[in-house]
Structure 1
Amino acid sequence: MNWLTRVRNSLPFVAKRETAENLWVKCKSCHEMVFAKEYADNQHVCPRCDHHGRIGADERLSLLLDMGYEVLEQPEVAEDPLKFRDSKKYTDRLKQARASNPHKDAFVVGSGEIEGKPAVVGVQDFGFMGGSMGMAVGTAFCQGAERALSRRCPYIVVTAAGGARMQEGILSLMQMPKATVMTRRLAEAGLPYIVVLTDPTTGGVTASYAMLGDIHIAEPGALIGFAGQRVIQDTIREKLPEGFQRAEYLHKHGMVDMVVHRHKLRETLANLIDYLQPAEAA
């Protein structure tokens, strides 16, 4: 080792790549560089263009629920029931996803309060295999609904998904009617079921529990739809309108009740619970 290398290694320099990754975030909309701390403090909303970035399940729960909430243990389900393999084994894909995520699968349920009002919140994390809906997601969704039924309180679900999990085939698709039955049970019990649609909410999730809420809230600019725009455009052979499948377009055409900024989401949910919640909640 020469003297220059020894001096360089002894100085408290931070590698350029590490500095960029730790200190700066590039907005996916305006492409401006934003301090990572400023971005995080602003709830992952770009302070330049107001673009709403994607956030994980734990951060979402902490933004919505009061301190002291309980995170429900994720249910055990059969893994890789079809022994599926494409370019990788399904089991390897699960291991890879879990290595970079604090939870075992894409749906996490928190039970607590929103501004002092009892609520159960289920969050779908796009960071775990694109939030895809498999047996673990469907079972966790139902587990959250059961907790809301037992507490006699609203069930709020924050969706973010690319659709069904192809590695589980028909078993994944069966989560759609299973979740639908639970939304019906909530309705029969007179309990509010509120859906917060975030970017992106697509595929089988949109075709089931994402669009069955009593009230549908969307974050600004969120992509919401079933099939992709290119598929629709090629099928109908017509150019789609500007902003098609975005939250604001769906709100204008009556498919979403309101578009709410992330900073006001907690307050909005608390107000809705006041309007909709049965008096005997506990």
Structure 2
Amino acid sequence: MSWFKRDKAGINTATENKKEAPDGLWNKCPSCKKPLLNLEQIENNYVCQYCGYHLRIGSAAYFSIIFDNNEFTELFPTLSSGDPINFFDSKPYTERLKESQAKTGLVDAIRSGHGKIDGQELVIACMDFNFIGGSMGSVVGEKIARSIDYCIEHNIPFMLISKSGGARMMEAAFSLMQMAKTAAKLALLAKAKLPYVCLLTDPTTGGVTASYAMLGDINIAEPGALIGFAGPRVIKETIKKDLPKGFQTSEFILEHGFLDFIVDRRQLKEKVSTYLRLIK
């Protein structure tokens, strides 16, 4: 029967002549598992066109989404962590830092930039999860502190995009001190009557949630983001109870009053710009 036979007139490419698709051309949505073309992801601000899932992105992508024409001046780009306690686990901390810097092209887990959003001046500090899990070390705290000082000096609003696993254990107390340090700096920003916008993304946990990530004049989050202090497993083992469905998602936290609203990344620039115009 003909439909069981290969049509010799069709396209038959020899195995040695077949070409593989280039790496990075396609991606798969972690939620609906459908294939996503990389160019379409960029055009859609890295949101799945099928299910609306917000893919994890870093500072470079956020800056391109928010800043006009992706034009900005990076602030304090050379700050790099030391090794204050000579930490050694499976390898020295200094070696881990060098590996992360080489792998990601970043100096640490946060970048700060000064640019414009719909013509309005704005400084953004954005965390990068790819750098040691976006952990909060001394450089993260220092860049936030210096960014706030820069905002006060130049009378510019401040926005912080959080994406972190929490404090960086390799810096011990030096990491934990950044919680108080950044909170004190934000008090000075409030005293100067300058807006502070917090965007919580997936994931925002640990000491970051317990400090600057939840201290905004307006706290917003992306859909479906994991937001919390301790992990669900730790909490469940501590309270000995089953957790509610959707526990620690941005939708659950909004419902319980810890967020002002959830914003789709495709409307992020418009929402932040509108807020800045209203508050001025």
Tell me if both proteins adopt one fold, taking TM over 0.5 as the criterion.
Answer: yes
Note if contact 2:81-2:137 (Cα within 8 Å) is conserved in structure 1: no
Corresponding residue for residue 249 of structure 2 = 246
CA shift digits 1:122-151 (9 cap, x unpaired): 101111111100011010111111111112
Q: What is the aligned counterpart of 1:265 among 256, 264, 268?
A: 268
Question: Runs in 1 of length 4+ with deviation above 6 angstroms?
Answer: none
Residue in structure 1 matching 2:62, options 60, 63, 88: 60
Unaligned stretches of 5+ residues in structure 2: 1-13
CA contact (8 A) 2:80 2:108 kept: no
Q: CA offsets, 1:48-81, max 9 Å, x none?
A: 1110011111111111111332111335355111
Structure 2 distance, partners of 1:180, 1:90, is 27
What is the TM-score when the length of structure 2 is the normalising length?
0.91
Instruction: State the Cα RMSD in Å.
Output: 1.6
Match of 1:175 in 2: 178
**Structure 1: unaligned runs, 5 residues or longer:** 1-6, 278-282
Shift of 1:101: 1.9
Q: 2: CA distance between counterparts of 1:20 and 1:49? A: 25
- Is residue 2:211 matched to residue 1:203? no
> What secondary structure does 2:23 align onto?
helix
Task: Give the whole-Å Cα distance in 2 for the aligned partners of 1:29 and 1:20.
Answer: 23
Contact 1:52-1:220 within 8 A present in 2 as well: yes
In the TM superposition, what is the alpha-carbon distance from 1:96 to its structure 2 partner? 1.4
Identity over the aligned pairs, expressed in percent?
43
Q: How far apart are the structure 1 equivalents of 2:146 and 2:271?
A: 25
- Aligned counterpart, 1:96: 99
Q: Is the Cα–Cα contact under 8 Å of residues 75 and 140 in structure 1 kept in the other structure?
A: no
Give CA deviations for 1:24-56 in whole Å, capped at 9, x if unaligned: 211111112212222222111111111001111
- Are the structure 2 counterparts of residues 179 and 75 from structure 1 closer, same or farther at C-alpha, using a change threshold of 3 Å? farther
Q: Does 2:235 correspond to 1:232? A: yes
- Give runs of aligned pairs for residues 20-59 of structure 1, distance below 5 A: 21-59=23-61
- The question of whether the paired residues in 2 share the 8 Å contact of 1:75 and 1:139 is answered with no
Quick check: 28-37 or 104-113, which moved more? 28-37
State whether residues 80 and 107 of structure 2, in contact with CA within 8 Å, keep that contact through their aligned partners in structure 1: no
Q: Deviations over 1:59-111 (max 9, x none)?
A: 11111111332111335355111111111211121111111223200110111
What SS class does the counterpart of residue 139 from structure 2 fall into? helix
Q: CA deviation at 1:23?
A: 2.1
Is 2:120 the partner of 1:117? yes
Structure 1 or 2, whichever has the larger Rg, is: 2
Per the alignment, residue 190 of structure 1 pairs with 193
2: CA distance, partners of 1:20 / 1:194: 39
Task: Give the counterpart of 1:161 among 151, 160, 164.
Answer: 164
CA distance in 1, matches of 2:49, 2:130: 22
- 8 Å Cα contact 1:74/1:140 also seen in 2: no
Please report the TM-score for the alignment, with normalisation by the length of structure 1: 0.90
Counterpart AA for 1:55: I
| Distance in 1 (alpha carbons) for counterparts of 2:115 and 2:192 | 19
